[in-house]
Amino acid sequence: MTIELRHHTDLTAQVHQDLLAVYADVRAPLLHLANYRVEAFAERLDRHVGDPGFELVLGYDGGHPIGYAYGNTVDAGDRYWKRMAEPLPEGFTNTPVLAIKEIGVRIPWRGTGTARRMHDELLAHRTEDRVTLMVNPLAGDGKVQAVYESWGYRAINSQPPSPDSPRLAVMVRHR
Protein backbone atom coordinates (compact mmCIF):
# COMPACT_ATOMS: atom_id res chain seq x y z
CA MET A 1 0.00 0.00 0.00
CA THR A 2 1.60 3.25 -1.17
CA ILE A 3 -0.22 6.26 0.19
CA GLU A 4 0.49 9.68 -1.23
CA LEU A 5 -0.10 12.64 1.08
CA ARG A 6 -0.91 15.95 -0.59
CA HIS A 7 -0.88 19.33 1.17
CA HIS A 8 -3.40 22.04 0.33
CA THR A 9 -3.84 25.55 1.69
CA ASP A 10 -6.83 26.25 -0.52
CA LEU A 11 -9.35 23.99 -2.22
CA THR A 12 -9.66 23.50 -5.95
CA ALA A 13 -12.95 22.08 -7.17
CA GLN A 14 -11.37 18.59 -7.44
CA VAL A 15 -9.84 18.69 -3.95
CA HIS A 16 -13.17 19.92 -2.53
CA GLN A 17 -15.00 17.08 -4.29
CA ASP A 18 -12.47 14.47 -3.10
CA LEU A 19 -12.68 15.71 0.49
CA LEU A 20 -16.50 15.70 0.53
CA ALA A 21 -16.55 12.17 -0.92
CA VAL A 22 -14.21 10.88 1.79
CA TYR A 23 -16.14 12.72 4.50
CA ALA A 24 -19.47 11.22 3.32
CA ASP A 25 -17.97 7.74 3.38
CA VAL A 26 -16.25 8.16 6.76
CA ARG A 27 -19.30 9.68 8.45
CA ALA A 28 -21.91 7.54 6.65
CA PRO A 29 -23.44 6.10 9.86
CA LEU A 30 -23.97 9.64 11.22
CA LEU A 31 -25.17 11.51 8.13
CA HIS A 32 -28.78 11.44 9.37
CA LEU A 33 -27.78 13.76 12.25
CA ALA A 34 -27.95 17.48 11.49
CA ASN A 35 -24.38 18.29 12.58
CA TYR A 36 -22.91 15.48 10.43
CA ARG A 37 -24.84 16.11 7.19
CA VAL A 38 -22.52 16.60 4.21
CA GLU A 39 -24.05 20.07 3.69
CA ALA A 40 -23.27 21.05 7.31
CA PHE A 41 -19.69 19.82 6.90
CA ALA A 42 -19.32 21.70 3.60
CA GLU A 43 -20.47 24.92 5.31
CA ARG A 44 -17.94 24.44 8.14
CA LEU A 45 -15.23 23.56 5.63
CA ASP A 46 -15.88 26.72 3.59
CA ARG A 47 -15.52 28.77 6.79
CA HIS A 48 -12.37 26.89 7.87
CA VAL A 49 -10.63 27.35 4.51
CA GLY A 50 -10.78 31.11 5.09
CA ASP A 51 -9.39 30.90 8.63
CA PRO A 52 -5.74 31.80 9.35
CA GLY A 53 -3.23 29.01 8.80
CA PHE A 54 -5.65 26.61 7.08
CA GLU A 55 -3.95 23.44 5.87
CA LEU A 56 -5.30 20.14 4.58
CA VAL A 57 -3.49 16.84 4.13
CA LEU A 58 -5.44 14.59 1.78
CA GLY A 59 -4.34 10.97 1.40
CA TYR A 60 -4.56 9.02 -1.85
CA ASP A 61 -4.01 5.35 -2.58
CA GLY A 62 -3.60 4.73 -6.30
CA GLY A 63 -5.20 8.10 -7.05
CA HIS A 64 -8.25 7.25 -4.89
CA PRO A 65 -8.85 9.65 -1.96
CA ILE A 66 -8.80 7.65 1.28
CA GLY A 67 -8.49 10.08 4.18
CA TYR A 68 -7.83 13.59 5.38
CA ALA A 69 -6.66 15.73 8.25
CA TYR A 70 -7.04 19.49 8.38
CA GLY A 71 -6.84 22.39 10.74
CA ASN A 72 -5.94 26.01 11.19
CA THR A 73 -4.25 28.38 13.62
CA VAL A 74 -6.28 29.71 16.55
CA ASP A 75 -5.18 32.52 18.83
CA ALA A 76 -6.47 34.01 22.07
CA GLY A 77 -9.38 35.84 20.45
CA ASP A 78 -10.68 32.89 18.44
CA ARG A 79 -14.21 31.64 19.15
CA TYR A 80 -12.70 28.17 19.54
CA TRP A 81 -11.68 29.11 23.09
CA LYS A 82 -14.81 31.09 23.98
CA ARG A 83 -17.14 28.08 24.01
CA MET A 84 -15.26 26.06 26.63
CA ALA A 85 -17.41 24.57 29.38
CA GLU A 86 -14.90 25.54 32.08
CA PRO A 87 -12.60 28.57 32.29
CA LEU A 88 -9.11 27.93 30.95
CA PRO A 89 -6.02 28.58 33.10
CA GLU A 90 -4.67 32.14 32.99
CA GLY A 91 -2.43 32.60 29.94
CA PHE A 92 -3.43 29.29 28.33
CA THR A 93 -4.42 31.00 25.06
CA ASN A 94 -1.52 33.47 24.93
CA THR A 95 0.26 31.58 22.14
CA PRO A 96 -1.38 30.40 18.91
CA VAL A 97 -2.13 26.70 18.52
CA LEU A 98 -2.96 24.43 15.61
CA ALA A 99 -6.58 23.34 15.95
CA ILE A 100 -7.19 20.10 14.07
CA LYS A 101 -10.77 20.36 12.90
CA GLU A 102 -11.20 16.96 11.24
CA ILE A 103 -9.42 13.66 10.76
CA GLY A 104 -11.11 10.91 8.79
CA VAL A 105 -10.04 7.67 7.11
CA ARG A 106 -12.12 5.33 4.96
CA ILE A 107 -12.76 1.91 6.53
CA PRO A 108 -10.35 -0.20 4.42
CA TRP A 109 -7.43 2.01 5.56
CA ARG A 110 -8.34 2.16 9.26
CA GLY A 111 -5.97 0.40 11.60
CA THR A 112 -3.09 0.77 9.12
CA GLY A 113 -1.50 3.88 10.65
CA THR A 114 -2.88 6.08 7.89
CA ALA A 115 -4.65 8.50 10.25
CA ARG A 116 -1.47 8.92 12.29
CA ARG A 117 0.60 9.50 9.14
CA MET A 118 -1.78 12.23 7.96
CA HIS A 119 -1.87 13.77 11.44
CA ASP A 120 1.92 13.79 11.70
CA GLU A 121 2.27 15.17 8.17
CA LEU A 122 -0.13 17.99 9.04
CA LEU A 123 2.02 18.87 12.07
CA ALA A 124 5.39 18.41 10.33
CA HIS A 125 5.91 21.98 9.11
CA ARG A 126 3.71 23.90 11.51
CA THR A 127 5.17 26.61 13.73
CA GLU A 128 2.67 26.37 16.60
CA ASP A 129 4.05 24.84 19.81
CA ARG A 130 0.80 23.09 20.69
CA VAL A 131 -1.99 21.33 18.85
CA THR A 132 -5.58 20.83 19.94
CA LEU A 133 -8.53 18.81 18.70
CA MET A 134 -12.01 17.85 19.81
CA VAL A 135 -13.43 14.35 19.96
CA ASN A 136 -16.77 12.85 20.86
CA PRO A 137 -15.83 10.75 23.93
CA LEU A 138 -18.50 8.22 22.91
CA ALA A 139 -17.08 7.70 19.39
CA GLY A 140 -16.15 4.06 18.93
CA ASP A 141 -17.16 3.42 22.53
CA GLY A 142 -14.26 5.63 23.66
CA LYS A 143 -11.69 4.05 21.34
CA VAL A 144 -11.21 7.20 19.24
CA GLN A 145 -10.33 9.28 22.30
CA ALA A 146 -8.00 6.50 23.47
CA VAL A 147 -6.18 6.64 20.12
CA TYR A 148 -5.62 10.38 20.55
CA GLU A 149 -4.38 9.78 24.09
CA SER A 150 -1.89 7.25 22.70
CA TRP A 151 -0.68 10.03 20.36
CA GLY A 152 0.08 12.24 23.38
CA TYR A 153 -3.14 14.25 23.70
CA ARG A 154 -4.82 14.86 27.04
CA ALA A 155 -8.35 16.08 27.68
CA ILE A 156 -8.39 19.59 29.17
CA ASN A 157 -11.99 20.76 28.79
CA SER A 158 -15.18 20.20 26.82
CA GLN A 159 -17.56 22.12 24.61
CA PRO A 160 -20.50 21.74 22.27
CA PRO A 161 -19.06 23.34 19.10
CA SER A 162 -22.55 23.95 17.71
CA PRO A 163 -26.14 23.62 18.93
CA ASP A 164 -26.56 20.37 16.96
CA SER A 165 -23.29 18.85 18.15
CA PRO A 166 -22.75 16.52 21.09
CA ARG A 167 -20.45 17.75 23.88
CA LEU A 168 -16.91 17.10 22.73
CA ALA A 169 -13.76 16.55 24.76
CA VAL A 170 -11.13 19.21 24.01
CA MET A 171 -7.66 17.64 23.91
CA VAL A 172 -4.24 19.23 23.63
CA ARG A 173 -0.59 18.20 23.25
CA HIS A 174 2.77 19.76 22.51
CA ARG A 175 3.92 19.35 18.96
Confidence class of residue 48 from pLDDT cuts 50, 70 and 90? very high
**Does 164 have pLDDT greater than 80?**
no
Calculated CA dihedral for residues 45, 58, 56, 95, nearest 10 degrees: 120
Q: What is the pTM of this model?
A: 0.92
Beta bridge mates, 171: 133, 155
For residues 44 and 47, give the distance between their C-alpha atoms in angstroms, rounded to a whole number. 5
3 and 59 in contact (C-beta within 8 Å)? yes
pLDDT digits 0-9 by tens, 57-67: 999 999 999 99
What does the pLDDT average to over 113-131? 96
Beta bridge mates, 8: 56
What does the pLDDT average to over 162-166? 73
Q: Which of the 8 DSSP states describes residue 110?
A: T
Q: Which of 11, 34, 16 is nearest to 163 (CA)?
A: 34
**Tally of CA atoms within 13 A in the half-sphere of 45 that contains its CB:** 24
Quote the pLDDT of residue 1.
Answer: 64
What does the pLDDT average to over 11-27? 96
Q: Which residues contact 126 (CB under 8 A, 6 or more apart)?
A: 53, 55, 98, 175
Please give the share of the chain, as a percent, with pLDDT higher than 90.
83
What residue ranges define each of the domains in the chain, with the CATH number in brackets? Answer: 3-174 (3.40.630.30)
Confidence class of residue 144 from pLDDT cuts 50, 70 and 90? very high
